[in-house]
Chain A
């Protein structure tokens, strides 16, 4: 899922202080799963912002709404009647959802309520860790289902850096597993350690963000 985390409430209050009527919009998909922008978070942030702005001397009216998805045009139609009644929108969706709202409703300022941080998995209750970097040239088939791009601090493609701690953790963060240690262990367990010694083709980064903004095109789905 796409994961995100709240911006500091005071930062949001400072951005919204000049507006009188604000629409707070959540998204019930990815950011709900990571407890940043779903209905519950909307219900939490709405009273919090009202209080924060009241304390600052800027009482506001905040309306709240949670869409099934903010990144699909069809779901944004639900906002058509509400948008003319507000001065600004605070979106708790990922960066995609924020931009979709801003594109459909260019007449109102749209503020992001969260920082979108990663493509991640819920590893434990309350702990999400990155699993994918959307690099555009997936190597998971060669690395035993463990991504060195997203999970190695240095995105090394050919083995560990040499700084792995004795307990198998990353030298950059004692709480993060060295993914190359995990890859080697999984290769050993599968009896395929030799496969890691094979020379692999250079990774094609041109399909990643480094190749400029992505456009994905499917002729069979065009109208």
Chain B
């Protein structure tokens, strides 16, 4: 990619350690732009949200949920996983690349470990090239 890839990380508030300073750590990442967003539960993310983020030009999205048995809303992380799967299928259908969306289950993550997931997503989307919706990218 000509520019640093932009990865949006949506993560459940219960996935990270209480002392994790994600926003501060994200600013120190080099080689990619990470936009972390804290969610009350991963199930608050719906398919249109994921698509809108990509439509706005992000190169990839990583949704981080709790382990299935640890979900405080019982089926919250399951719903989130189903939605990511649905959105991936739609992206494949339009040849945008399903791997632009990632899903992980983690708990008690440090800020650095969370950002490692963003880096892994950046590596996964690299073969796809920049998001064609990125401002200034040729059609």
Chain A contact-residue range equals 10 to 19
Main secondary structure on A side of the interface with B: helix
A43-B48 in contact (CB<8A) = yes
B51-A44 in contact (CB<8A) = yes
A55-B48 in contact (CB<8A) = no
The interface centre, meaning the residue of B48, B54, B93 with most chain A CB atoms within 10 A of its CB, is: B48
User: A37-52: which have CB < 8 Å to B?
Assistant: 40, 43-44, 47-48, 50-52
Beyond A40-B48, A44-B47, A59-B139, whether A51 also contacts B93 by CB under 8 A is no
Chain B contact-residue range equals 10 to 19
Closest B residue to A42 using CB positions: B48
Segment of A6-14, A93-101, A143-151 engaged in the interface with chain B: A6-14
Beyond A40-B46, A55-B132, whether A47 also contacts B96 by CB under 8 A is no
B20 contacts chain A at the CB level, 8 A cutoff: no
User: B41-56: which have CB < 8 Å to A?
Assistant: 46-48, 51-52, 54-55
Q: List 27 A-B contacts (CB under 8 A).
A: A8-B93, A9-B90, A9-B94, A10-B94, A43-B48, A43-B52, A44-B47, A44-B48, A44-B90, A47-B51, A47-B52, A47-B54, A48-B90, A50-B55, A51-B54, A51-B55, A51-B96, A51-B132, A51-B133, A52-B94, A54-B132, A54-B139, A55-B94, A55-B96, A55-B132, A57-B139, A58-B139
